[in-house]
Amino acid sequence: MTKPRKAPPRPTSRPEILAPAGGQASWAAALEAGADAVYVGLNQFSARTNAENFSLAELKGLIEESRRMGVKVYLAINSLIKEGELAAAYKTIMVAAEMEPEAFIIQDLGLASICRQYCPQIPLHASTLTAVHNLDGLTSLASLGFTRAVLPRELNLSEIALLAQRGALPVEVFIHGALCFSFSGLCLMSSFLGGRSALRGGCTQPCRRFYQNAGRRKNFFSLSDFMGLGFIPELRKLPIAAFKIEGRMKGPDYVSQVVKAYKLLLEAPEENLQPAYQEALSILNLMPGRVAGPGFISGQAYAGDLWETQSASGLKIGALKPTGPGQGTVTLLAPLKILDRLRFSEETEESQAYKLRKMLKDGQEVDSAELGEKVTLTIGDPDVVPPATMIYKIGSGSLEKEYLASDQVKRLRTIAKNYTPPTIRSVPSALIKDRGQIATLAGGSQPLWVWVDGFDHHQETLKFKPRKVIVPLSPENVKKLSHNKKLLGPVGNLVWSLPPLLFGGAQEKIRKEAQKLIESGHRDFMIANLGQINLLNRLHQSLKIWGDHHLGVLNHLSGQVLRDLGLAGVTVSMESDQENLLKLSQTSFPCGVLMYLYGRPALFTSRYRPPSLKRGPVVSQRGEKFWSAQEGEAFILQSEHRVFIGGLLKVPKPKGFVGLIVDLRREPNPAEAGRRLKKAIDQGRGSPGLSFNYKRGLR
């Protein structure tokens, strides 16, 4: 295992106000409002592909103009990288590095290794999508060369304080913005439903949609926005590097006002905190967004104040009553101007924004109207206004126009116009390793690793003649181990899997159970998070540690990084498609390779259970059926359809291939599921599940 580098110094001055800049207008707004730093994305390799983003030429202008004004720029190249994208990602990184942003924000471990090797002068910040949420995770990130970690939005105040005060890295903390339902970095739902991966920036926001459950139709998984304003007095006492505002999809009015509000409170003297808080709150109350609450930072992880029925993001304007094609009247709940961007309440799978083209008051055309006034609106196409719908303001078109005409944007565009990004022609051979050679041909008997909930159905696994049996590491399973020793055979046949979320007391319980197993001779463990490597290595230095699909491995360089951290093997991301798997087969993979063949994976993995959700199926508007469950500290949602990536039985495998994972956890009838699956494997036909992205592709 690589030794951790010396930790960067902890912040001694106040935290930076770090603002989102999804486009030129939002960037200019952040500068005008007094942000200390901005984070931006490019047109490629960004975890917000639907934001406006920037070209490399525009990035050049943005960095130069930001630096002229004393504002730092952090470049988010934070999507997972497919094997075939490594060369393009390298070229992008090398051009961007010449512009000297203050840091790269990275999720993909393979991409982090490229940055560390070829442009070590640029600091690396670990994206929140790495899902690192404990001290051990920060230690792993430090050993990989990261200099800062962006903490998940799902942590409470005491957890943040622990990581800020004792972690191996400086930390960055979200203080305002939208909350995803699934824990940062652990969502598979968007990818499962249509191949648009949340970990690659293509999220279609399935958590904002309406579902049926127990006869009710609600958006059960749409969380309120997070407003951490009330926690700034405590947070500003901690050694935190940056206060981060979520919102690269938001407009300049949001960015400007949120920056001003938090800057006001952050810089207020101790004796003036209360009046500063009230002034900041009055600013935020006029912001476009969902109803805001204290989020997870309050520590009330299961309180109803996290949950809100409003799905559409924006400032509530009022109920629009149609009066004609594309028109309607509304009594305003907030001021409105021509060119404002509006969205209807989200009754469909994906909502669309429209610009306000025309507004009448007392029969006269006006450019603006105030709170309480009754106006007639003309919005978009003639057929876009559904009956009696609520409308939300999501951005100010007039303000956006003003910012786009600002001197800052003009200078950015002038620099971009006169700049031609250099052409990077050669790519290091390590990035296209062994390309063109098929490593291991498919066919014949495939080694299977069978994953079960416990030992009650272990007899069913024997039908597969498994090379390994994976069992969740829990006190219950460890207790039952002694009663099943004869049936299980040698301890080397067992692999003990850790859950993706481990906090405080639960982590200590897992550590104690792992210690018992190690003392009994067990050496194989499967991790779901980077922090679990250190947890296990502190117990014993000669373990075989395997990585499950939560580690997001889509390229061989990520496997190399995990091998260097001490892993014996990793599971390729189940989001992977056929094209990517074929490219992986043309590499000499640096460690053991597992692939997920069959199972009922958690599509949402959340720290929050919706209080209004009842037992029974959760059904989407398209008729897709899902089931919920509580697993340890995680609330999960799984599809009624199993995943069966049958193409893996035929696709060539990388060198180092050790097995296909058959996941029988969460099966209501493991015996029947196992029988159908074994028949499909043995006969090479039949489809006991959906192929995920294998055929349709991963975007």
List helix spans (H) across 52-134. 56-68, 86-98, 109-118
Q: Which two three-digit tokens encode residue 622?
A: 């398209």
- Which of 185, 191, 224, 217 minimizes the C-alpha distance to 206? 191
Question: Residue 106 belongs to what H/E stretch?
Answer: strand 103-106
**Tell me: the pLDDT tens digits for 467-483?**
999 999 999 999 888 77
Catalogue all structural domains in the chain, each as residue range(s) with its CATH number: 16-179+224-271+404-417 (3.20.20.70), 186-223+603-641 (no CATH), 315-395 (2.40.30.10), 433-600+643-683 (3.20.20.380)
Task: With a cut of 80, say whether residue 486 has pLDDT above it.
Answer: no
pLDDT class for 640, splitting at 50, 70, 90?
very high
| CA 460/CA 79 separation, integer angstroms | 39
What is the mean pLDDT of the segment spanning 92-107?
A: 98
Is this model's pTM higher than 0.85 or not? yes
DSSP-based three-state secondary structure for 140: helix
**Tell me: the pLDDT tens digits for 311-354?**
556 788 898 888 877 788 999 998 999 988 888 765 444 456 77
What is the mean pLDDT of the segment spanning 129-156?
A: 97
Q: So what's the pLDDT on residue 23?
A: 95
Of all residues in the chain, what percent carry a pLDDT higher than 90? Answer: 70
Q: Which two three-digit tokens encode residue 201?
A: 């920036």
CB 594 within 8 A of CB 572: yes
| CA 550/CA 574 separation, integer angstroms | 9
- Which of 234, 237, 227 minimizes the C-alpha distance to 283? 227
Residues 6+ apart with CB under 8 A from 74: 18, 37, 38, 39, 40, 101, 102, 103, 104, 105, 125
Please give the residue that has the higher pLDDT: either 287 or 662.
662
Residue 475 to residues 91, 408, 509, 547: CA-CA distances in angstroms? 49, 60, 8, 21
Of all residues in the chain, what percent carry a pLDDT higher than 70? Answer: 91
**Tell me: the pLDDT tens digits for 15-30?**
999 999 999 999 999 9
| Least confidently predicted of 204-208, 440-444, 580-584 | 440-444
What is the mean pLDDT of the segment spanning 279-307?
A: 76
| CA 110/CA 103 separation, integer angstroms | 17
Residue 638 to residues 180, 303, 315, 600, 628: CA-CA distances in angstroms? 17, 23, 33, 6, 6
Task: With a cut of 80, say whether residue 488 has pLDDT above it.
Answer: no
| CA 408/CA 413 separation, integer angstroms | 9
pLDDT class for 12, splitting at 50, 70, 90?
low
Which residue reads 């014993």 in tokens? 540
Q: Average pLDDT of the chain?
A: 90
| CA 656/CA 588 separation, integer angstroms | 7
